[in-house]
């Protein structure tokens, strides 16, 4: 699953200035960190649904995704 996220899905999000990082996958529960433009996107839920659909089509698995927004490190003091 990690390779699929990093090599197939992440590059598609980078075109919009965001990126996704794999955290864990266990018992059909996938945790992803969204950074860059994805961290402040108002329609992140649509992207999460799209990722779940892509995984279902490519891997034949239905997953529950936990999306974690991670702001850039330089925002920590703002």
**pTM for the predicted model, two decimal places:** 0.84
Q: Is residue 5 one of the residues assigned to a domain? A: no
Q: Which of 6-10, 55-59, 73-77 is predicted least confidently?
A: 73-77
Chain Cα centroid distance, residue 69:
9
pLDDT in tens, 42-56: 889 999 999 999 999
Q: What is the CATH number of the domain that holds 47?
A: 3.30.70
Starting at the edge strand that comes first in sequence, how are the strands of the sheet with 18-26 ordered? 18-26, 29-36, 64-69
* Residue 61 domain boundaries: 20-71
What are the tokens at 50?
């799209």
Q: Is residue 30 one of the residues assigned to a domain? A: yes
């Amino acid at each position: 699953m990690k390779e699929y996220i990093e090599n197939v899905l992440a590059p598609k999000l980078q075109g919009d200035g965001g990126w996704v990082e794999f955290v864990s996958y266990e018992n059909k529960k996938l945790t992803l960190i969204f950074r860059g433009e994805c961290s402040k996107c108002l329609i992140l839920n649509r992207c999460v649904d799209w990722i779940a659909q892509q995984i279902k089509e490519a891997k034949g698995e239905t997953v529950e995704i936990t999306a974690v927004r991670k702001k850039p490190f330089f925002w920590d003091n703002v």
